[in-house]
């Protein structure tokens, strides 16, 4: 049997320390109006906060900058929500996350992950044409230190933030390779992350991978579908594995590429109001069977799209159960240049399912834990190919939808 290996790099967002994101995607607002809208009890309720601030300023043994105290207060306020998807981002973190949604980072070009057993942070990929590639960093290297700060003292996100930085600035990355510790001095660069990867597999099957849901993703996908002449192929494999999400507007646009009309998702708010999002009517005109690949790293917007395609019966899902993130966040600019990400709603699939902490179960389960980042075998991809070649994959547009999309 033909062995298929997965094309391209994976887990870009994880690599660069960007968490799972699912934002409203209709522009980033300002928090000032929210502050002015506080009720009359706010001064009384916030009294202890100002009292603690005054006591620290007056009596604490060391001088603590105001911005450090403010960040601590913001972190504590968000922590009190007990919501892993709401957080405060410092100005540097906020800028990095926004850049990443534009497909760019400033850094050295490594893909990293934390080994759950050892806690070590491992390089699992190196992007071509980047400082890390030129310096000689290799997949399998263990990140030991950055500018002398031991990685054992840092979480993955903290280490990623240290590696990122302004284009043109230098840093020293120390890695452990076998029994050796090797230092690499590099200069950070602006790195463009490829968002869409595509090729035609043996058997005349189109393969398209989407790495993130950005404002440009639908346009990029349409161009890719045209470039590989997708309707001249026997089928399309749409790979959303390890795609952590992105913009809600992008997810709706991409789901609408496959679904000509009807419900894409429903948002449910705390006041029991709901907002139903319909397909935009702008389909990509795909007429061949579609198989969508998902795994535990497929989260948020990836789940929205795969759930909509599954519920509407226009694609076959293959892989493992998805992450299970069924909430919507908005971003708000703060006056210090930082940002607040806040959960505002739950989202439901077209059939009314809330997948939070449950995930989406594929139509066909294919377990796979790669032996290494560059594992040459990919049984999930192989199963998708088999489904298309055997004629078992769902047609993209069932008869009733095809008539309306014609």
DSSP 227-268: HTTGGGSSEEEEE-TT---EEHHHHHHHHHHH--SSEEEEEE
The residue from 87, 141, 311, 378 that is catalytic is 311
Task: Give the torsion sign (CA, 56, 62, 68, 74).
Answer: negative
Q: Is 33 a catalytic residue?
A: no
Dihedral of CA atoms 320, 322, 324, 330 in degrees, nearest 10, equals: 170
DSSP 28-50: -EESHHHHHT--TTHHHHTHHHH
Tokens at 190, concatenated: 């602006």
Which candidate, 248, 64, 84, places its Cα nearest to that of 157? Answer: 84
The residue from 100, 325, 378, 386 that is catalytic is 325
Tell me 362's DSSP state: -
Dihedral of CA atoms 148, 151, 157, 163 in degrees, nearest 10, equals: 30
Q: How far apart are CA 353 and CA 304, in angstroms?
A: 11
Residue 37 exposed, middle or buried by CB count within 10 Å (0-12, 13-18, 19+): exposed
Q: How far apart are CA 329 and CA 238, in angstroms?
A: 25
Tokens at 14, concatenated: 């994880």
| Residue whose tokens read 């992007």 | 127
Q: Is 325 a catalytic residue?
A: yes
Q: Is 41 a catalytic residue?
A: no
The residue from 300, 306, 378, 386 that is catalytic is 300
| Residue whose tokens read 């105290």 | 69
3-state secondary structure of 337: coil
Q: How far apart are CA 247 and CA 301, in angstroms?
A: 7
* Rounded alpha-carbon distances, angstroms, from residue 193 to 148, 300, 319: 28, 20, 25
Which residues are annotated as catalytic? Answer: 300, 311, 325
């Amino acid at each position: 049997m033909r062995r298929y290996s997965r094309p391209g790099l994976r887990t870009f967002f994880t690599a660069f320390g960007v968490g799972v994101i699912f934002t409203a995607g209709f522009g980033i607002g300002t928090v000032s109006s929210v502050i002015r809208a506080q009720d009359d009890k706010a001064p009384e309720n916030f009294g202890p906060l100002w009292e603690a601030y005054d006591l620290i300023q007056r009596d604490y043994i060391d001088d603590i900058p105001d911005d450090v105290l403010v960040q601590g207060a913001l972190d504590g306020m968000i922590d009190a929500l007990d919501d892993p998807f709401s957080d405060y981002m410092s100005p540097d973190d906020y800028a990095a996350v926004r850049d990443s949604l534009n497909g760019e980072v400033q850094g050295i070009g490594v893909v990293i992950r934390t080994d759950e057993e050892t806690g070590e942070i491992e390089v699992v990929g190196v992007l071509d044409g980047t400082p890390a590639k030129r310096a000689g960093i290799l997949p399998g290297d263990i990140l030991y230190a950055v500018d002398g700060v031991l990685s054992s003292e840092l979480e993955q996100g903290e280490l990623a933030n240290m590696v990122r930085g302004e284009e043109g600035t230098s840093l020293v990355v120390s890695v452990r390779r076998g029994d050796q510790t090797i230092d690499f001095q590099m200069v950070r660069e602006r790195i463009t992350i490829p968002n869409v990867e595509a090729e035609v597999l043996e058997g005349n099957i189109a393969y398209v991978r989407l790495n993130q849901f950005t404002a440009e993703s639908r346009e990029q996908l349409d161009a890719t579908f045209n470039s590989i002449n997708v309707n001249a192929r026997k089928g399309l494999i749409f790979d959303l594995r390890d795609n952590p999400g992105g913009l809600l507007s992008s997810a709706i646009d991409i789901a609408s590429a496959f679904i000509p009309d009807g419900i894409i998702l429903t948002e449910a708010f705390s006041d029991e109001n709901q907002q139903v999002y319909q397909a935009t009517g702008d389909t990509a005109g795909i007429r061949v069977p579609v198989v969508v690949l998902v795994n535990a790293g497929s989260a948020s917007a990836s789940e929205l799209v795969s759930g909509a395609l599954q519920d509407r019966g226009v694609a076959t899902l293959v892989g493992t159960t998805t992450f299970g993130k069924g909430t919507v966040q908005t971003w708000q600019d703060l006056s210090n240049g930082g940002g607040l990400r806040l959960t505002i709603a739950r989202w439901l699939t077209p059939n009314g399912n809330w997948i939070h902490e449950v995930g989406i179960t594929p139509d066909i389960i294919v377990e796979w834990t790669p032996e290494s980042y560059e594992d040459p075998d990919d049984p999930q991809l192989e199963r998708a190919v088999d489904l298309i070649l055997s004629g078992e994959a769902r047609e993209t547009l069932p008869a009733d939808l095809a008539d309306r999309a014609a």
